[in-house]
Structure 1
Amino acid sequence: MTREVIDYANFEAGRDVNYWELDRTLQFEVQRTYPDDEFAWAEPRLSEFGDVVGSTVADNADRIDRHEPELHTYDEEGEVRNEVEYHPTQHENERIAYEEFGLTHDAFHAPPDREEPMGLTHTLTQQTLLSYADAGFVCPVSMTNGVALVLEKFDDGPLEDYFERLTSRDADEHIEGAMFLTEKQGGSDVGTNETVAERTDDGSYRLTGEKWFCSNIDAEGALALARRPDAPDGTAGLSLFLVPRTKSNGEVNDALFRRLKDKLGTLSVPTGEIEFRGAEASLVGEPENGFRQMTAMLNFERLSNAGAAVGIMGRALLESKVQAATREAFGEPIQEKPLMRRDLVDMSVDYEAAAAFTFECAGLLDRHRREEDREAFTLMRALVPIAKQVTARMAVETASYACEILGGNGYVREHVTPRLLRDAQVLPIWEGTSNVLSLDLLRALDRENAHEALLPAIREHIDAVDHPVLADCAETVDDEFARLQEALVHLAGADTDEAQLQAKELAEYVFDVYTAALLLAEAQTELDRGDARKALVAERFVETRLREADARGIADGDRFAIEHFDEIVRYAPVAPESIAESAPADD
């Protein structure tokens, strides 16, 4: 059944709405990447979650942003307390997320009415919807899942109680996780970490040192990297430890929460500095293998970062669409103005691209987790850093322009757009800056031959396209794919400085070519079902990302945004025959 065009004039703002039901792009990508049985189970629950996030959680998030957490390092007697005080609505959001909807449970244990756990794609979908309201809260949710993933993979039993509590649906039993990597002298150079781990007679460890940027600082189950005595320098000498906020005897652990950072955004999650003073800790997995073990969490965190970018973009786009449909200027809604149509069309296409690429990565993550699929892992190693790098910047740009579309109101904190922009700005920083991520792509290509999985994946998407409506775009993408391969060959033979100098450009190039091929494959699927809307999305992405226009396209007579506004922005279906006349004729 053909769904109706969405009339955004029916809404006052992107609030008190169902974020799942309004986001047909997210629905499409989720259905594409979930196994069929999982989607059938998840779809009504995602709808219910989208409704709650669009009302209760969104309202709470605004209050929390005005009343951010407060740190109480000492009690009235001067004893270390290390307690963070939250606005009461934060606890309501936690109960909704953890207990009602199982955001840290369902990927590890069978949820109600199912016999098997869900995939991590379901977790990332929930986190994306949650980011519509509060990307800051997604941080502890994501890290709790990340710690559970590490314990699931590397712990052989001693930390089972922590795993069960991290993944519990019972609010009274549930604890949150965190990842404390950064030290002041090292930053992204984790190998320079100076925190020391001394083993005690009972087999546990005591950590001494400082951690400089600890998000979710009061987590009960935090992972930290430290170096045992006589361990080698660099990342090869780091071991991984679980450091609880409270010791096994119930007392506050031997650490000092020095202060909370006065951050620009993501105010709902407390980020601070910790001084370990012989803090009780437990070794996770094998000693001197900590950094490799931590990457299991880091990959998930980077993909969560991309999901947060998609959520922020989705909310910013929704607010922009509603504003454009309801705000009148010079006698008509501003969505009727050609420039606004162009802006909303291109913002929408960017959103579809970000969502497609991110959920492509989510599917790979699940394939590797379930099947130990080496090809999926290799491809994921190339794509996940790109997803995090590119979508983070796209989120900042989209949120910034949403502020502009709302005019003066878009800069006033009574509206959500300033918070979206403030929260988006951390996404290029969390879990590795753009420079770090692009260099990670080079490492994946050099050390793990990631191109051997990357290039066939792009080829497969291109080869899936055979509809005449897509022929012109497919030819452009095929040509650009050949140029991408030439670029990869060139950089493989270049010296280190030249390769690193072009690393960010390469990451963005891979994103553009891979996403173009993916959108074309999606368009082929939709054309087979009788809808050409996704073909228009693919066409616009290819036109703006891969084709060079003379005179910057000003003299091209481009009327795409005017003629296809309803299809791209308001999800109007498109009959393939309505655009077939513009496609090349069959030979």
Structure 2
Amino acid sequence: MSGGDAAFHQAPPRVGDPWANDRALRAAITRLLPADVLAAAAPALTRMGARAGGDLLTLANAAEAAPPRHVPYDAWGRLVDRIEVSEAWRALDRAGAEEGLVALAYERPWGAHSRVVQMALLQLFHPSSAVYSCPLAMTDGAARCLELLGGDDPALRAAFAHLTTRDPAAFWTSGQWMTERAGGSDVSTTATRAEPRDDGTFALHGDKWFTSATTSQMAMTLARLPGAPPGSAGLSLFLVPLARDADGRLPGIVVHRLKEKLGTRALPTAELTLAGAPARLVGGAGHGVRKIASLFNVTRVWNAACAAGGMRRASALARDYAERRVAFGKPLRAHPLHAETLAALEVEGRGALQLVLHVAALLGRDECGTATDGERAALRLLTPVAKLLTGKQAVAVASEALEAFGGAGYVEDTGLPRLLRDAQVLAIWEGTTNVLALDVLRAIEREDALAPHLADLHARLSAVRDDALAPTAQLLHAAL
């Protein structure tokens, strides 16, 4: 056969409905949620599953095909520093608001269980979002920061309301502008200065080498007040409003360029200078790193949930393709070695799923004031562990999944290489592996966070009653 209707064309993998098709996710949610909460949350999960395999996926593909563009000058030579994004990217923003991906955590309709539902929704949304999950993650982190530290400041309370609304017309996202030329994770070297103004606000001066979600309506950043000591203790936390003036410019901000990245190509990420940018102090002067920890805790959980969602999507696509692809006379799924590969991908994804939802349950209880001391300690320990582990897993799973498609996994217009390109950042954002490992060590040494976690694991293993699982439980007891 040389062409025409009889020529062979391989059927591509299909996303389908990731909520309806993911038995592991549904089982985990059923185990973690009371029956009444599960029934109340089911419509949102069902709707998100349908959208993740439908209109959201279409929007994500369109956003990837039309990446953001920096327009420094208008037609008459005036500096405007405009960042243009596609209509698809704006539609993903509206979808995030409509589905309450941030709002749910602060409405708390089901108390502590609201975080579990939120993270389940996120795992469906993220792989079909062109990584719009990034600005939503930073928005959630900023909202938690303002919830804790906003006090009675009307401007901060108003910002919190914008970050947590479901109204797309009123919804804000927040950037997170920490990285300077001298270092990423080492924020103690932050050189940005904050000069007081007569009206109680501040003017920020400094360079930011990497600013994600630069088209957001606000950003959280660190800067040093006059006379503040060196190091992290001398830094303060600020909110930078990003409302354009009558000339279309961001006051006190000069955008130098958009970053060209390995992945997350639809996400606008800029290098810029703060040249007197207006800002509001959050939580009083000093100890900004400690104050922003509440933001990092939330974004690290989001990072882990996105990693787990990416693994579930990669595994699902590889399984679907194994049903469609025939090689050596039978479907790929019928070849024992390939079946073993698919099983290994599934095990990694299911493990990440269980870990993320467990951390989400702990986070929800902590925020609602119902966590025990042991649960708070476990949350402190497991937040960096979950981010570290799932970030590394996501890259390995995506790489293995691409191999399951053969050469098609390496061809850009199949969309499959995005699985790997977008996974790679998950090991880098919100703390690299070694930074997180040291954070785990601090939690163990300074806060004795390991002992209650080990006690919980031993208790869970002791509750195993299945004879088939008993030998494995004993091995894990010994390993612990």
Using the size of structure 2 for normalisation, the TM-score is 0.93
Residue in structure 1 matched with residue 387 of structure 2 by the alignment: 388
1:229 to 2:226 alignment:
yes
More displaced stretch, 36-45 vs 134-143: 36-45
C-alpha offsets along residues 231-254 of structure 1, whole Å, 9 cap, x if unaligned?
121111111000011279996221
C-alpha offsets along residues 450-508 of structure 1, whole Å, 9 cap, x if unaligned?
12322112112112112222111111111111xxxxxxxxxxxxxxxxxxxxxxxxxxx
**Contact 2:80/2:249 (8 A) holds in 1:** no
1:302 to 2:297 alignment:
no
**Whole-angstrom distance in 2 between the partners of 1:15 and 1:141:** 26
**Whole-angstrom distance in 1 between the partners of 2:348 and 2:378:** 22
**Whole-angstrom distance in 2 between the partners of 1:269 and 1:15:** 25
**Whole-angstrom distance in 2 between the partners of 1:251 and 1:215:** 18
Alignment partner of 1:200 out of 186, 197, 202 = 197
Q: Alpha-carbon deviation of 1:25? A: 1.3
Give the AA of the match of 2:128. A
Task: Report % sequence identity.
Answer: 36
**Whole-angstrom distance in 1 between the partners of 2:278 and 2:96:** 29
**Whole-angstrom distance in 2 between the partners of 1:176 and 1:377:** 28
**Contact 2:59/2:129 (8 A) holds in 1:** no
Alignment partner of 2:210 out of 210, 213, 218 = 213
Residue in structure 2 matched with residue 120 of structure 1 by the alignment: 115
Alignment partner of 2:289 out of 291, 294, 300 = 291
**Whole-angstrom distance in 2 between the partners of 1:330 and 1:242:** 60
Q: Alpha-carbon deviation of 1:304? A: 0.7
Q: How does 1:536-547 map to 2 (within 5 A)?
A: none
Tell me how many residue pairs correspond in the alignment. Answer: 467
Alignment partner of 1:267 out of 265, 268, 282 = 265
Q: How does 1:439-518 map to 2 (within 5 A)?
A: 439-481=438-480
* Shift in alpha-carbon separation, 1:324–1:16, aligned structure 2, 3 A: closer
Give the AA of the match of 1:283. L
Residue in structure 1 matched with residue 5 of structure 2 by the alignment: none
More displaced stretch, 374-383 vs 35-44: 35-44
Give the AA of the match of 1:296. S
Q: Alpha-carbon deviation of 1:34? A: 3.5
Residue in structure 2 matched with residue 182 of structure 1 by the alignment: 179
**Contact 1:428/1:434 (8 A) holds in 2:** yes
* Shift in alpha-carbon separation, 1:272–1:247, aligned structure 2, 3 A: closer
Give the AA of the match of 2:252. D
* Shift in alpha-carbon separation, 1:248–1:204, aligned structure 2, 3 A: farther
* Shift in alpha-carbon separation, 1:223–1:359, aligned structure 2, 3 A: same
Give the AA of the match of 1:240. L
C-alpha offsets along residues 351-390 of structure 1, whole Å, 9 cap, x if unaligned?
1111111111111111110016343222111111111111
- For residue 54 of structure 2, give the secondary structure of its aligned residue in structure 1: helix
How well do the aligned residues superpose, as a CA RMSD in angstroms?
2.0
**Contact 2:18/2:52 (8 A) holds in 1:** yes
**Whole-angstrom distance in 2 between the partners of 1:125 and 1:241:** 31
Residue in structure 2 matched with residue 157 of structure 1 by the alignment: 152
Residue in structure 1 matched with residue 127 of structure 2 by the alignment: 132
* Shift in alpha-carbon separation, 1:31–1:253, aligned structure 2, 3 A: farther
- For residue 225 of structure 1, give the secondary structure of its aligned residue in structure 2: strand
Residue in structure 1 matched with residue 54 of structure 2 by the alignment: 55
Alignment partner of 2:319 out of 304, 318, 321 = 321
C-alpha offsets along residues 187-241 of structure 1, whole Å, 9 cap, x if unaligned?
2111111001111111101100011111101211210011111112111111100
**Contact 2:13/2:321 (8 A) holds in 1:** no
Residue in structure 2 matched with residue 495 of structure 1 by the alignment: none
Q: How does 1:348-427 map to 2 (within 5 A)?
A: 348-371=346-369, 373=371, 374-427=373-426
C-alpha offsets along residues 51-104 of structure 1, whole Å, 9 cap, x if unaligned?
1111111122122112111122333344443322112112222222212x1112
**Contact 2:111/2:368 (8 A) holds in 1:** no
C-alpha offsets along residues 326-372 of structure 1, whole Å, 9 cap, x if unaligned?
11111110111111011011111111111111111111111110016
Residue in structure 2 matched with residue 255 of structure 1 by the alignment: 253
Give the AA of the match of 2:234. G
**Contact 1:182/1:213 (8 A) holds in 2:** yes
* Shift in alpha-carbon separation, 1:221–1:375, aligned structure 2, 3 A: farther
* Shift in alpha-carbon separation, 1:352–1:288, aligned structure 2, 3 A: same
Give the AA of the match of 1:405. A
- For residue 206 of structure 2, give the secondary structure of its aligned residue in structure 1: strand
Residue in structure 1 matched with residue 91 of structure 2 by the alignment: 92
Q: How does 1:58-69 map to 2 (within 5 A)?
A: 58-69=57-68
* Shift in alpha-carbon separation, 1:55–1:451, aligned structure 2, 3 A: same
1:142 to 2:137 alignment:
yes
Runs of 4 or more consecutive aligned structure 1 residues displaced over 6 Å after TM superposition: 115-118, 247-251
**Whole-angstrom distance in 2 between the partners of 1:73 and 1:125:** 40
* Shift in alpha-carbon separation, 1:135–1:36, aligned structure 2, 3 A: farther
* Shift in alpha-carbon separation, 1:98–1:91, aligned structure 2, 3 A: same
1:343 to 2:341 alignment:
yes
- For residue 136 of structure 1, give the secondary structure of its aligned residue in structure 2: coil
Using the size of structure 1 for normalisation, the TM-score is 0.76
Give the AA of the match of 1:91. R
Give the AA of the match of 2:209. W
- For residue 426 of structure 1, give the secondary structure of its aligned residue in structure 2: helix
Give the AA of the match of 2:299. E
Residue in structure 1 matched with residue 27 of structure 2 by the alignment: 28
